[in-house]
Structure 1
Amino acid sequence: MQLPPLFDFLARLAAHNDRAWFQERKAEYTRLRADFEEDVAFWRQELNRLDPALAGPLGRTSVFRIYRDVRFSKNKDPYKTHFSAYFTASAGKDIDAPGYYVQVGPGGQTLVAAGLHQPDKTQLAAIRQEIDYNAAGLQAVLGAPGFRRHFAGLSGEQLKKAPAGYDPAHPEIELLKFKSFTASQEIPDAEALAQKDFRGYVLARLGALVPLCGFLRDAVG
């Protein structure tokens, strides 16, 4: 995948986000998407090696559609202005199990992330219980040099108070307050465009996130 032509197309799409403009350039979009899918296939192959759970019979990859769901949105632009993909070891919904996410687009839209976004009540309780019983395991994941090289820690919304059933003085209360358990790195356009091997650049970050997905996968069972 060559980022300059992709960023150029997506920037023009952001400025002309309508069906007529897009349909006139559908062939260009199709070529760019095919190039992105080649990189997605590479990342999947390498993740299968790094995280054997993804190589199992339930593993799946989702390359998301460029079409936006505007039914419940005030923003009626029909198209996303980024390409994205998700890798998981679950055959269910894309967000029902820990997984890896790659998003590529101009204007600061490029990022690499992993974890479990907005787990359901059962999953959330299981993760908090695992943190309560095995905080050292998660701290080891978050403190590993490979992880710290690219990620500052967990990201996302937290409760303002201790979750029900947990003492506000719990030594891991800040971890227990998280409502999602993800880590992400936003990549500036200039940094993304400067990479001679963008595939490898993204893969290094995905590889650093494997232990986090493993911890969460073990927690939710």
Structure 2
Amino acid sequence: MTVIDASIISFLKQLKKNNNREWFADHKEKFQEEQKKLKSFYELLQLEMEKHDAIEKLKIFRIYRDVRFSKDKTPYKVHMSGHFVREGKERRGGYYLHIQPGESFLAGGFWAPEKEDLFRIRKEFEMDTVEIREIISEENFQKYFGKIEGDSLKTAPRGFDKTHPDLDLIRMKQFIVTRKFTDKQITSANFLAEVNNSFKAMRPFFNYMSDVLTTNLNGESILD
């Protein structure tokens, strides 16, 4: 399936209004039909992505919510989504596509870096941000994403200068890029190409972060 069928949006809207096990049981065949169509779209997207990156696998997320520790006990997600894992230890970052009526988006980057990785990124920024600032100011990056997003500390991390000129980057705890889409955009004929082009535009950012996270401060590889 080269386009996302509007019926997927319609189904998710109905699910939001009827988020209970009885309704879902009565409409499970419809859900499976829509899920199959969307998976086909993701698989075709992966084929296009493999022309510019090495993708190890595609993961389609389950529709069922984990409600054990949530005040919201509705049993089902009101979106469908998938994640593309890059191949090999030398390739960091991942691609995510989220389909939800009125709230669809794609994203990529580093959502919850491990403590050691976060420190390594911050030390890189402390030494030099010329390259990363060139990447995030590049025309395609600005066109699709605008900026790096994510939670930040209110002040400098422990051990870092509070007056550092690149403190805006050093304070960050997440490094994510996103692009939002309307329902009209996600059901358009060129949506697959738009998503693929957006993911392709992430590559310089991923390449930079991968290089940082697979080397020490002297630029020497830390991979086995």
Structure 1 and Structure 2 fold alike (TM over 0.5):
yes
Q: Which runs of 5+ in 1 are unaligned?
A: none
What is the percentage of aligned positions where both structures have the same residue? 29
State the Cα deviation string for residues 100-145 of structure 1 (Å, max 9, x = none): 111011032x001100001110110111122233412211221111
* Residue type at the aligned position of 1:124: L
* Residue type at the aligned position of 1:39: F
Residue from 177, 180, 184 that aligns with 1:186: 180
Residue from 68, 72, 84 that aligns with 1:71: 68
Distance verdict in 2 for CA 1:182–1:17, change over 3 Å: same
Q: Find the aligned partners of 1:22 and 1:89 in 2 and give their Cα distance.
A: 34
* Residue type at the aligned position of 2:60: V
Instruction: Name the larger-Rg structure.
Output: 2
TM-score for the superposition, normalised by structure 2:
0.87
- 1:44-193 matches, within 5 Å, as 44-52=46-54, 54=55, 59-89=56-86, 98-108=93-103, 110-193=104-187
Equivalenced residue count is 210
SS in structure 1 at match of 2:106: strand
Displaced runs of 4+ in structure 1, greater than 6 A? Answer: none
Distance verdict in 2 for CA 1:191–1:89, change over 3 Å: closer
**Post-superposition offset of 1:91:** 7.8
State the Cα deviation string for residues 19-66 of structure 1 (Å, max 9, x = none): 1111111111111111111121122222222123x3xxxx22211011
Asked whether the equivalents of residues 116 and 216 of structure 1 are also in contact (C-alpha less than 8 Å), the reply is no
Given the alignment of the two structures, is residue 5 of structure 1 paired with residue 7 of structure 2, yes or no? yes
State the Cα deviation string for residues 62-111 of structure 1 (Å, max 9, x = none): 1101111111100011111111111122689xxxx521111011032x00
Query: What RMSD in Å do the two structures reach over aligned CA positions?
Result: 1.8
State the Cα deviation string for residues 140-170 of structure 1 (Å, max 9, x = none): 2211111110111011111100112221221
Q: Which runs of 5+ in 2 are unaligned?
A: 215-224
Q: Find the aligned partners of 1:91 and 1:83 in 2 and give their Cα distance.
A: 26
Q: Find the aligned partners of 1:214 and 1:176 in 2 and give their Cα distance.
A: 19
Residue from 35, 42, 53 that aligns with 2:37: 35
